[in-house]
Every structure is written in C-alpha cells, then in structure tokens.
Amino acid sequence: NSWPGMTVDVRRGIVYIPTGSATPDFYGGDRIGANLFANSLLALDAKTGKRLWHFQSVHHDIWDRDLPAA
C-alpha cells in the first residue's frame, strides 16, 4: 500500500512511490518472508509504469513503519 503522496520528476520522467506494509496487519510477526516491495521506495517510468528500480528500507517490518514520503 502507499499512504503518502507520490513524487514526479518531470524532467527525468520518473515517479517515486513510497510503500508501507505488505498487508493491513499492523503486527507483521505472522507474515513470512521479506515482503518484497513493502516498506520500499519504487521508481517507475512515468509513461510506461515499468519498474526502474526499488530500495527496500526494511526487509520484514513487524511494526508497520511505512515510508513517510518520496
């Protein structure tokens, strides 16, 4: 999910999207795995939506600490 706003770099044609937890469960102890793309900053091509890159700041967030902004 993505609660905060997205940021657009018009010159480069990139949309930056911060994401939160993988599910609405606030306690992630019951979720297995690294939850890829959760708690991440995604960079997408603004025209195609293709993923350019991502950075996952927390690999398994158990306390629902979303990224605040892009």
Biggest CA pair distance of the chain: 42
Active-site residue identified among 9, 25, 45, 64: 64
Please, is 7 exposed, middle or buried when counting C-beta atoms within 10 Å of its C-beta (0-12, 13-18, 19+)?
A: middle
Contact of 53 with 14, CB cutoff 8 Å: no
Q: Does residue 64 carry a catalytic annotation?
A: yes
Please identify every residue annotated as catalytic: 64
